[in-house]
Amino acid sequence: MHWEAILQALRETFPAETIEAQAGLIDETFIALPPDGIHLAVQVLIERFDLRHLSTITSQDTGGEIELLYHFWGGRGLTLRTSLPREKPHIATLTDLIPGAAFYEREVSEMLGVTFDGFPDPYPLLLPDDWDGQPPLRQEESND
């Protein structure tokens, strides 16, 4: 895996953005991208580098926003990071490029209330069909 080449290709794809690679603690590189750039970036990873193994998608509520981390693996780890607003967060689905993303997107959707635009059947993965509480991994709304 040519990590410098990947970084270079992403910089060429998004000339208006400042794209920096951040080294993780165990064989991992983190790259932050705007939410509307994730789908195109993954297309570049697949078409130019044959990097198509999506290990999972981590989602977290950092308080201010909903953060998504797309963990790829190709001999080393590559994590694409993006942030969505807490109000009605939505992002393009990756299932058209990587069918294996379906379960991960369904889980992110039910646990943090993120909508994946273009996802064919967004029913719950783990929660009961009649779940009517808030998405369980959201931080509790503050009362003040």
Task: Summarize as ranges the residues that interact with another protein (CB under 8 A).
Answer: 24-28, 52-56, 58-60, 69, 71, 73, 75-77, 79, 98-104, 124-128, 136-137
In terms of C-beta density within 10 A (0-12 exposed, 13-18 middle, 19 or more buried), how is residue 43 classed? Answer: middle
Select 92 or 98, whichever has its Cβ closest to another protein. 98
Under a CB-based contact definition with an 8 Å cutoff, are residues 34 and 81 in contact? no
Helix, strand, or coil (residue 60): strand
Q: How far is the CB of 91 from another protein (least distance, A)?
A: 17
Under a CB-based contact definition with an 8 Å cutoff, are residues 110 and 102 in contact? no
Hey, what are 90's tokens?
């939505």
Q: How far is the CB of 15 from another protein (least distance, A)?
A: 28
Residue 127 per-residue DSSP state:
S
Beta bridge partners of 80: 31, 70
Torsional sign, CA 104, 52, 48, 7: positive
Select 56 or 115, whichever has its Cβ closest to another protein. 56
Select 41 or 101, whichever has its Cβ closest to another protein. 101
Select 21 or 127, whichever has its Cβ closest to another protein. 127
